[in-house]
Each structure stands twice: as structure tokens, then as C-alpha cells.
Amino acid sequence: MKKHNFSAGPCILPQSVFKESSEAILNFNHSGLSILEISHRSKDFMAVMEEAQHLALDLLRLEDKGYKALFLQGGASTQFLMAAYNLLEKKAAYLNTGTWSSKAIKEAKLFGEVEEVASSKDKNFNYIPKNYSIPADADYLHCTSNNTIFGTQIKEFPTVNIPLVCDMSSDIFSRELDFSKFDLIYAGAQKNMGPAGTTLVVVKEDILGKVSRQIPSMLDYQVHIGKDSMFNTPPVFAVYTSMLTLRWIKQKGGIAGVQKLNEEKAALMYGEIDRNPLFEGFAALEDRSMMNATFNLKDEKLKDLFEDLAKVAHINGINGHRSVGGYRASMYNALPKESVEVLVNVMKELETQA
């Protein structure tokens, strides 16, 4: 029995991607070889890496605009330090909207001064700060587009004259944005892009090479660019599966196509959270994430009944993160609308039975 998987990441991917990647492990491209045993320098894999890079830039509409797409290892957590290693000469500005922003700030402090331009920590990160000022002399501004844990999302990005760096781990490829506003975008694959094990980095080349420190090869964006993301052995299978997922997004009509479905799912989900007297949302209304809906039961005594009903309905992964409690329904690109309908029905059923 297939589950309705609301897991926050790693998370559900398109069923066609599971099927194709499973087959490629037995026989990749009719080569008589597994995708797991081919050389990363083989023609077949070079083509995969190229297509993945091309699709990423194409979907973001960043082709021929001075950007490079890299598929690295180490997760977004490694980007917390790489961004600073490559860009922070003296001072950087950080917007603190949650756990992941806070961790990015912690790593950046090892490399220079960090000015926190605003924080929503005062309300356990349930909103996105607005109207803050950004130091014009900062080397860059760093922000987190979607706060996976707290279920908030930046709807309007600040306009700045310094490089704009964004951790888009949990909402990349889910909604249209003017991506050319950003100079460095990074995202762990394991939400909208593929399995855990690779990290997409999209970087505008002209912001690089400006810090005075020496950068170890594996942490240097310019080194990876110089080798087209093949400086060392890439995570072959994770890149291949990401490429399949990017193809699937393209087939769905690109970001605009999946965005439409994401909006429908979010409307359904938040509609029920608001309508149903047993539940309340966690995040400020105007900052609600289209990806991760965080909500609570008003009456804790209904916990067991709600969770039993969800289990019977084959629902997986709705427990909230410990820093928020309650529930979190993650509705990434590949989650079918039907899964949201099932969850909404469970919420309605609880109302009937309670």
C-alpha cells in the first residue's frame, strides 16, 4: 500500500522518478551496466551532468545570464560555510528567520563580522520580518526563502545593491520568482529536486574571486566551475535522480506548471486548518509557506485520535519539528493533490468523531 508521504525532507519524489531510477540500477541506458557502477567520466554520465545543469538554469530562466549550476556534496549545511568562505571578506548581513538561518549565521561568524539585519526569534520564528535596513557596505545579504521547520516563506525579497544569497533548500523549483535578483542560490536536493546526497548551487560568476583568503579546492566555487562540477567524483546516482526530477518538472510545464498545483494544495490545506475549529495554524497568515503547513490541535486530548485516523488513512510524516510541536504537512512538488485531500478528510473526520 503506497503511503501519503508528507515528510519534510527527504520527501516524496515523482513515482516515475522512482521507477526510472530503480531500473537504471539494473541497466542504465541499455548499457548492460548499473548507474551505480559506471565511471563518472563516461560519456553517458557526462551527458547526465550536463542535462541536469542545463535543466536547472533553464527552469530558473538563468541561462546566458552569467550563472553556473553545480551539483555538489555536503548538503545545504556545507553551503552555510562555503558561502562565507567564498564571499565574506569583512562583514555580511543575515536575515534570521529560523533554525537554518541561525545555523548559517553561526558558520559565517567564523569568517568575519555578521550583522543580523532582522530576526523573528522573538515569536519563535512564526513570521518574516519586514522593513529592516541593510548595511550598504556588507559583502552580501543572506536569507532563507522558506523556513522548513516553522512553515514561513518570504513572499517579497529585498532589493539590494550588494550580492543576494539565498538558501532555497525547501522551496526551489516550486514557484516563479525573478531568480536573476539572486547572485547565489543553494538548495539541498532532498525536497523538490531529488534524493538526499547532492546540493544544487547556482552562482553568478562575477561575485567570485573577491576574498583575500585562500580557499581549499573542494570549498572553492571557482574550482568546481572550472571543472564543470566534476572536480572530483560527483554523487552519480543523486545527480542522475535529480536530473530525472528536473525533467519531470519541465514536463509539468516548468515552475509555472508545478506552482499552480502547489497553490491548489496549499489552499486546500490552509482552508481546512482555518475552517476546522479543532485546529489552528502556527505561522502568520501573510507569511505562510506553500511548502510546509504548520498547525496545532487546540485540544491536546485529541492527539491520539487524530494520529490514529491519520495512520489508518496511510498518512506518513506529519509530526511537527520539536522546535514547533504540533503538525507539519509538507506539500512539495511531487505530493499529489489527492494526498492533501486525504489529510483534509481525516481532519474533518476528527471533527465528526470528537
**Cβ atoms of residues 344 and 308 within 8 Å:** no
Candidate list 147, 170, 190, 262; residue touching a second copy; CB under 8 A: 190
Check 191, 248, 265, 287 and give the catalytic one: 191
Which part of the chain contacts a second copy (CB under 8 A), choosing from 138-146, 190-198, 259-267, 278-286? 190-198
Check 68, 139, 167, 287 and give the catalytic one: 167
Round to whole Å and give the CA distance between 65 and 306.
50
Candidate list 29, 33, 252, 254; residue touching a second copy; CB under 8 A: 33
Round to whole Å and give the CA distance between 346 and 352.
10
**Residue 314 interacts with a second copy (CB under 8 A)?**
yes
**Cβ atoms of residues 209 and 222 within 8 Å:** yes
- Comparing CB distances to a second copy, the nearer of 157 and 231 is 231
- Find residue 279's DSSP bridge partners: 297
**Residue 148 interacts with ligand PLP (CB under 6 A)?**
yes
**Residue 16 interacts with ligand PLP (CB under 6 A)?**
no
The β-bridge relationship of strands 67-72 and 199-204 is antiparallel
Round to whole Å and give the CA distance between 292 and 303.
20
**Cβ atoms of residues 121 and 131 within 8 Å:** no
Active site residue 167: yes
Q: How far is the CB of 38 from a second copy (least distance, A)?
A: 6
User: What 8-state DSSP symbol labels residue 319?
Assistant: B
Torsion of the alpha carbons at 99, 126, 119 and 102, rounded to the nearest 10: 0
Active site residue 248: no
Round to whole Å and give the CA distance between 145 and 143.
6
Please, what is the Cα angle at 254 between 250 and 260, to 5 degrees?
135
Cell of 36: 551505480
**Residue 32 interacts with a second copy (CB under 8 A)?**
yes
**Residue 131 interacts with a second copy (CB under 8 A)?**
no
Candidate list 10, 254, 325, 336; residue touching a second copy; CB under 8 A: 10
**Residue 77 interacts with ligand PLP (CB under 6 A)?**
yes
Q: How far is the CB of 274 from Mg ion (least distance, A)?
A: 5
**Residue 263 interacts with a second copy (CB under 8 A)?**
no
Collapsed DSSP state (helix, strand, coil) of residue 227: coil
**Cβ atoms of residues 45 and 34 within 8 Å:** no
**Residue 174 interacts with ligand PLP (CB under 6 A)?**
no
**Residue 336 interacts with a second copy (CB under 8 A)?**
no
Residues 60-79 binding a second copy (CB under 8 A) are 73-78
Q: How far is the CB of 152 from Mg ion (least distance, A)?
A: 8
What are the backbone angles phi and psi of residue 72, rounded to the nearest 5°?
-105, -175
- Comparing CB distances to ligand PLP, the nearer of 309 and 333 is 333
Cell of 94: 543575515
Give the number of other Cβ atoms within 10 Å of residue 1's Cβ: 3
Residues in touch with a second copy (CB under 8 A): 1-3, 5, 7-13, 18-19, 21-23, 25-26, 31-34, 36-40, 73-78, 80-81, 85, 103, 106-107, 110, 188, 190, 195-198, 214, 216-219, 231-238, 241, 314, 316-317
Residues forming the active site: 100, 167, 191
Residues in touch with Mg ion (CB under 5 A): 98-100, 147-149, 276, 279
